[in-house]
Structure 1
């Protein structure tokens, strides 16, 4: 049965999410607004929950244009009841759809648990499935308990707080549908978003955000952004070697590893505490044989020239992910070292701050004009250059000494820049391809 969903998405992720639902879910009626993507799909809910670029998943109940609330509280309640609550039969049908989808998730989870216990008796599976559906049907028949979570912006937010609107909407649902208010442990949660352009009502289908990956025991870069870096890489990342020279806890590599087969992943970082967390994440993700970790400086990458097919790197910045190195000073040399180990035809994907993005564009512009650029020498610790955290393929290793030669990059060509939000700040994902020096534009 075709169902209408919507997902929330971080700023800059809407286009990627819209493309993902079309490609992976064969979704129809795909529509996007800032922060949300709407779509229809008849895919099993388990497949829908595999979306990588979404934050939260909702069953859509109602979507319309902006509503205008009068100042009189009683009249405002009437408008909300008519505009947001609307037809009681529509709500009952959506509750049945919601409970059916919950049954799909429960059945799959229970079948997975039985497989782990190696209990393959079909009678047990059928009995569990029947019990699950009976409980769900009962929820659909009886008045469910609920609570309302409301967000508002624009003109309406000047007159009403989110808490006040939640109370007004909750009372309207209680009076119209006969549901029971339960603010602590409700069966259903009703999410309402009101702005100058939209009125959206939905029910979340999962307790946890889609962006919370089960294999990330230690959080680093947000998983949706890490996935976006992989998605924006022009190269198909199968049957190749992928490097993250500043891997932190391994978020970028683990996102890439989820969808790439027969690929060698190399993660490097000079901070052993970060590598220990990365190792735990790799183990939790079941990627121990595919993701190799090494302690070294990104300024002295111990790999042969042209050894890797793609470099994906979240360049540290900001209070949470900053490092001891002065990154604006180090960027030219860091870029040169990543360019060195990248093969011709390979791709470089960088997540950088606004400041570093502006500097990056200047470096690439100088490169296109074949201009020499002197950079300050960045101190590195040679003693960390060959400390391994796990085994790394030896045929890729080639330890290089530091050079005082002025840095001149002549083989990176900029492809595209994609702006994303990291919550409190914005960042840019830059993609480059490596070409022969003589192929660069003059």
Structure 2
């Protein structure tokens, strides 16, 4: 792997975006489409790309976690013998020439000015939305309800220097607004007495067996103090220097925004990770005049992500929990998309929705960890799918987020339409012997009979990480009536 030379010219720059495991393909598609990125390179947990330093476009990346300006990207390091020699090599490799830092920091400062302006505009919009939320008590009713159900129930709407180079979490980033605002433009990095920084270091793979992240962060931090005269500040630095060394690459970069891309200012009550929700909606083939249903919407994260991208589409959210629906309504109003989204209280097991009236069903199937159910979710899954199958029109899409356990259960015990043979077939071939053994040893927890969904065809499945939990985004399409 050749060393990446970072182009920090005003016309284009090299960036990278961190991504949750399994979401790299979604970030790759977004940066290409939204930022006209080139030289896109996806690796585990990161996507590197070259694009114009246009924050109005870069900020639209919805599937990424954090956005960085790339300073250096090196191939895997070959560490010499001897701890002293190894640390010296790491310091020289990761810090390098001063002019590279100065050029990158100048561009970083320009980006900060744009981000600050965008934040000011966004804060004004949020304040206006809050005032509207307090004054607006409008209710929503659904036009898609079954006649026999009526309109449905509606939801209302200074220590020693070396001690300061401790490794910080990758999800933390602090910029001292008071310090930066008091420094005249273009003099930020020449004002050494006022410029503060910290090193956030991650160390995995073979290198982690030799050094801790704290050791590496301390070495790089001391080198920057000697080279530039900057002052370390662990709590509220002006600049965070992000370093990640592993078996694939060694990276140095600067976070561009205080808050991660994944943090949505318009979400008041949090639920499903917004990046995962975005990945789901991008698979749903939403277009103009589409009617989208989330029958277990919770606080409405999936609908919010979709409505912000497709404001002229009709979205309907349902949930049996009135408290969750109230939070969903507040979220939608705060996001300013209340004209596109309506809510209805109801059960996914008996949807008060006309048959074949929905174009897309998209939902996070509960894992059973946060909200308990009187029934095992494996027992409820066939009933849930049957209702979804009923309300979706022919040609419609169903996108579900399933736990790995539920997805395994789906593959093992349910049969879907085989497009090639025109008959019903399992999503995989015959059950593996391991599956049979599991069925025999867990008869109480597993539905033994096979359920058929002859109108549904599996399209794709994507493993994604939800932090401590692994999940699957599963997509299928309705090709005929049951």
Change in 2 beyond 3 A, CA 1:76/1:43: closer
User: 1:139 pairs with 188, 195, 206, which one?
Assistant: 188
Deviation at 1:163, TM superposition (A): 1.4
2:230 aligned residue: 179
Instruction: Tell me if structure 2 keeps the 8 A contact 1:25–1:43.
Output: no
Higher share of residues assigned helix: 1
* 2:86 pairs with 1:76: yes
Instruction: Tell me if structure 2 keeps the 8 A contact 1:63–1:200.
Output: yes
What is the TM-score with the length of structure 1 in the denominator?
A: 0.83
Instruction: Tell me if structure 1 keeps the 8 A contact 2:16–2:68.
Output: yes
Q: How many residues align?
A: 392
Instruction: Tell me if structure 1 keeps the 8 A contact 2:368–2:377.
Output: no
2:461 aligned residue: 417
Alignment root-mean-square deviation, CA: 2.5
1:91 aligned residue: 101
Instruction: Tell me if structure 1 keeps the 8 A contact 2:401–2:473.
Output: yes
* 2:250 pairs with 1:193: no
SS at match of 2:397: strand
Alignment of 1:257-276 (within 5 A): 257-276=307-326
Deviation at 1:142, TM superposition (A): 2.4
Deviations along 1:71-92, one digit per CA (max 9) or x if unpaired, are 6443233212210000111111
1:28 aligned residue: 38
Alignment of 1:20-419 (within 5 A): 20-70=30-80, 72-110=82-120, 135-143=184-192, 144-233=195-284, 235-320=285-370, 323-365=373-415, 368=418, 370=424, 408-419=452-463
SS at match of 1:337: helix
Deviation at 1:59, TM superposition (A): 0.5
State the alpha-carbon separation in 2 of the partners of residues 437 and 112 from structure 1.
46
Instruction: Tell me if structure 2 keeps the 8 A contact 1:145–1:182.
Output: yes
Deviation at 1:140, TM superposition (A): 3.0
Deviation at 1:323, TM superposition (A): 3.9
State the alpha-carbon separation in 2 of the partners of residues 241 and 433 from structure 1.
15
Deviations along 1:127-175, one digit per CA (max 9) or x if unpaired, are xxxx979723110322331100000111111121111211111112212
Instruction: Tell me if structure 1 keeps the 8 A contact 2:315–2:342.
Output: yes
Structure 2: gaps (5+ residues): 1-10, 129-179, 427-449
State the alpha-carbon separation in 2 of the partners of residues 31 and 16 from structure 1.
13
Change in 2 beyond 3 A, CA 1:278/1:323: farther
SS at match of 2:71: strand
Change in 2 beyond 3 A, CA 1:231/1:322: farther
State the alpha-carbon separation in 2 of the partners of residues 63 and 407 from structure 1.
51
State the alpha-carbon separation in 2 of the partners of residues 221 and 256 from structure 1.
13
State the alpha-carbon separation in 2 of the partners of residues 89 and 434 from structure 1.
58
1:393 aligned residue: none
Change in 2 beyond 3 A, CA 1:325/1:250: farther
Instruction: Tell me if structure 1 keeps the 8 A contact 2:197–2:241.
Output: yes
Deviations along 1:113-132, one digit per CA (max 9) or x if unpaired, are 789999xxxxxxxxxxxx97
User: 2:473 pairs with 415, 424, 429, which one?
Assistant: 429
Change in 2 beyond 3 A, CA 1:314/1:117: closer
1:397 aligned residue: none
